[in-house]
Amino acid sequence: MGSIFSIQQVINGLQVGSIYALIALGYTMVYGIVRLINFAHGDFFMLGAYAAYGTFFVFNALIVSKSGVTAFFVLLASMAAGGIIALLTNQLAYRPLRYKPKLSSLITAIGVSMFLEYFLSALPMVGPSYRPFPDVIPRVNIKIGTATISNIVIIDILVAAVLMVGLTLLVKKTALGKAMRAVSQDKDAARLMGIDIEKGIAFTFLIGGAFAGAAGLLAGMTYPRIFPYMGIQPGLKAFIAAVLGGIGNIPGAVLGAYIMGLAETFASAYNSLIGEGIAFAILIVVLLVRPTGLLGEKTADKI
């Protein structure tokens, strides 16, 4: 039993959870405002990783002393790539269908996701192969008693925490955040307040995509191997985490992500066969007990 619930396993679970959290944050924002399962979100994550990869090599070639400057631009590139592609996807594929049945945009979302994956995989200079991700920041392992934690894991956890707090403040305290919440709750009413909801939605995609991009960079640093289909599984898991925490709820997404990370870790440590299904099992149990997720707001159906 010791090896199942040891400090090391807790650290392992937190690491897995923080990557899920980073993707889930953007996922839950976008879902909250357009109520669309954005299948392409995991691909924005993947694009962020590739943008970071490319930028790293360009900067390494240009600048002799790497370190800080490179890391900054790599982060910028990953966020820009994720954000801009998310924005473009919204404008080209989702916006024209905004007032059509919601499921038609779901299919375009699937189409966009397939396109991004297959396109990158077919593109000669990218290709389907696994690419070794460089150490943007040198990796240092820190010993805590019998457990080991790497500086990358600490960065992951910190970034997830900072982004969560920042996003919560943005949404709760700023006028822009309130407008975003208004749009997510009632689009017509928001328009009647003079809010340009398309701008609000576009902004949300930009932020959500940028977060996904940053998550791609961090995932690349944590698990130094990237490929065009790398977004599918984490995207799915992050979506589950977002639903688990209560979709549209920012702390909920992070909570859901860490619950999933820890549950998967403990389950795999207990018996590797059940590790794979545990995320789904937890999800089903939670939703059956609390259909709006752990922290989801109860909005009763009114006649």
Partner 1 sequence: MKKFRLPRLLIVSAVLFVVIQILHSREIMNGYILHIINQSLIYVILAVSLNLINGITGQFSLGHMGFAAVGAYVSGTLTSLVFKINPSSPNAMPLFILAIVAGGLAAAVIGILIGFPSLRLKGDYLAIVTLGFGEIIRTVFNNIDYVGGPRGLLGIPKFSNFPIIFAAAFITLVVVRNLIQSSHGRAMLSIRENELAAELVGIDTTHYKVMAFSIGAFFAGIAGGLLAHLLTLAHPTQYGFIKSVEILIMIYAGGVGSITGSTIAAFALTFLSEGLRIGIRAIADTTGLPIGGEWRMVVYALLLIFIMLFRTEGLMGNKESRIITIEEAD
Partner 2 sequence: MLEVKNLKVSYGKIEAIKDVSFEVPDGKIVTLIGANGAGKTTTLRAISGLEKSAGGSVFFDGKDVTNLEAHKLVPLGISHVPEGRKIFPTLTVRENLELAGWTLRNKKLIKERMEEVFEIFPRVKERADQLGGTLSGGEQQMLAVGRALVTGGKLLLLDEPSMGLAPVLVDEIFTQIVAINKRGTTILLVEQNAAEALDIADFAYVLEVGYSTLHGPAKDIANDPRVREAYLGV
Partner 3 sequence: MRKVAFVLALAILATSLVAAQEIRVGGVGPVTGEAATFGISTKNGIMLAAEEWNARGGLFNNRRVRIIFEDDKGDPAEGATVYTKLIQQDNVVAIIGTVMSKVTLAGAPIAQANGIPMISPTSTNERVTLVGDYIYRACFIDPFQGTVGANFAFNELKARNAATLFDIGNDYTKGLAENFRAQFLKLGGKVVAFEGHPAGATDFKAQLTKILANKPDVLYVPNYYNDVGLIAKQARELGFNGPMVGGDGWDSPDLVKIGGKAVENGFFTNHYAAADPRPIVQEFVKKYKAKFGAEPDALATLAYDAAYIMFDAIRRAGSTRGSAIRDALKTTNLDVVSGKVTFDSNRNPIKSAVIIEMKNGQQVYRSTVNP
Interface with partner 3 (CB under 8 A): 2-4, 6, 8-9, 12-13, 15-16, 118, 121-122, 127-132, 141, 148, 150, 219, 223-225, 227-230, 232-233, 264-266, 268-269, 272-273, 275-276
**Residue 103 tokens, joined:** 């499921």
Beta bridge partners of 226: 131
Window 86-145: residues binding partner 2 (CB under 8 A): none
- Candidates 10, 147, 195, 232; binder of partner 2 (CB under 8 A) is 195
DSSP calls for the chain: -TTTSSHHHHHHHHHHHHHHHHHHHHHHHHHHHH----TTHHHHHHHHHHHHHHHHHHHHHH-SS-THHHHHHHHHHHHHHHHHHHHHHIIIIIGGGTTS-HHHHHHHHHHHHHHHHHHHHHSTTT-SS-EEPP-SS---EEEETTEEEEHHHHHHHHHHHHHHHHHHHHHHHSHHHHHHHHHHH-HHHHHHTT--HHHHHHHHHHHHHHHHHHHHHHHHHHS-EE-TTTTHHHHHHHHHHHHHH-TT-HHHHHHHHHHHHHHHHHHHHH-HHHHHHHHHHHHHHHHHH-TT-SS--------
Which stretch, 12-20, 44-52, 135-143, 183-191, contacts partner 2 (CB under 8 A)? 183-191
- Candidates 63, 67, 69, 111; binder of partner 1 (CB under 8 A) is 111
Which stretch, 55-63, 80-88, 104-112, 195-203, contacts partner 2 (CB under 8 A)? 195-203
Is residue 189 within the footprint of partner 2 (CB under 8 A)? yes
Report d(CA 98, CA 191) in Å as an integer. Answer: 14
Is residue 202 within the footprint of partner 2 (CB under 8 A)? no
Is residue 195 within the footprint of partner 1 (CB under 8 A)? no
- Candidates 61, 64, 192, 289; binder of partner 2 (CB under 8 A) is 192
**Residue 145 tokens, joined:** 């008693």
Nearer to partner 3, 97 or 232 (CB): 232
- Partner from partner 3, partner 2, partner 1, none contacting 65, C-beta within 5 to 8 A by type: none
- Candidates 2, 65, 68, 124; binder of partner 1 (CB under 8 A) is 124
**Residue 169 tokens, joined:** 């403040």
Least distance in angstroms from the C-beta of 184 to partner 2: 9
Cβ neighbours, 10 Å, residue 48? 36
- Partner from partner 3, partner 1, partner 2, none contacting 96, C-beta within 5 to 8 A by type: partner 1
- Candidates 196, 271, 274, 285; binder of partner 2 (CB under 8 A) is 196
Is residue 121 within the footprint of partner 1 (CB under 8 A)? yes
Least distance in angstroms from the C-beta of 285 to partner 1: 10
Is residue 97 within the footprint of partner 1 (CB under 8 A)? yes
State the residues that interact with partner 2 by CB under 8 A: 175, 178-179, 181-182, 185-186, 188-197, 297, 299
